[in-house]
Amino acid sequence: MKWFAYLIRSLALVLFTVFGTNMAFAVQVSVSEIRYFQTEITHVGQADDVGFAARAPPLATTNVAFTGGVNVTRGGAFALHGQKTVAALFGFGGDYIAPNRVSVSDIGELRSPSRQVLEGEDALIGSTQGLQSRTAGTFDNVVQGTHGDSATSYLYTIDDRGVNIALETTPAATPRGNIVHTNLSDRAAIGGEAWFGPNNTVTINAGSGRFGDGAGITQQQWNNTVSYWEGLGYTVNPIPFGSR
């Protein structure tokens, strides 16, 4: 039986040597996975600068300045995966070239009449006597006439109410028996005469000894007066400066 026990011990030693050595020196194996994703391409499209010209219509205020070119100063569009648009960004810049309207201050300061005001000539009339005032838009129900016709002539002044008009033949308790410019305004930048025609046309002069050519206005003030009338929406036929 001794030989059998010796055999068992030998087999156990062989088994321990084989398996024990392998287990002692076994190296851990790491398993890794490599994944490949679809390539994402972002396309950026830059828009060219564009421009357009615009002129604003006359408004009820005098500080209209939206005349001239308005340019896109930067622009862009972004798309993912080549097709789907996800953003569009644009920036605009305003380029003011010239104002639409002149203001009353461009015509001149409001000033007192340059000649003596006689009895009744300082009584300001109102809408019940036919006075109309405008900073924008045309006048209502005007009598049409021709230049030089005293029956259809209007007196006008320009002050902080805009353009004020009334028929010159409007009765008043003045030495003339009708209104004068100081019945429209006690202070004005300019005054004159006006004749209205069809299709929003008007003929004007600076014929006023109180606020017009008799009060020392300049050619530039007259030019600005014409522009102010145009801002109301009229096609203006101006009588040459210094003439009536």
Residues 6+ apart with CB under 8 A from 144: 152, 196, 197, 198
Report field, pTM of the whole predicted structure over 0.85:
no
| Ramachandran class of 108: left when φ > 0, alpha when ψ lies in -120 to 50, beta otherwise | left
Q: How many helices (H) and strands (E) does the chain have?
A: 4, 10
Last residue of a domain, one of 94, 116, 131: 94
Q: 218 and 142 share a domain?
A: yes
Tens-level pLDDT at each residue, the chain (244 residues)? 565 666 667 666 666 565 555 554 445 555 556 665 555 555 555 545 444 444 444 444 444 443 343 444 444 544 444 554 444 444 544 443 444 578 999 999 999 999 999 999 999 999 999 999 999 999 999 999 999 999 999 999 999 999 999 999 999 999 999 999 999 999 999 999 999 999 999 999 999 999 999 898 999 999 999 999 999 999 999 999 889 8
Domain range enclosing 85: 42-94
**Quick one: 61 and 90 in the same domain?**
yes
In degrees rounded to 5, what are phi and psi of residue 215? Answer: -115, 10
**Of 51, 73, 94, which closes a domain?**
94
Q: Which residues have a Cβ under 8 Å from the Cβ of 117 and sit 6 or more positions away?
A: 182
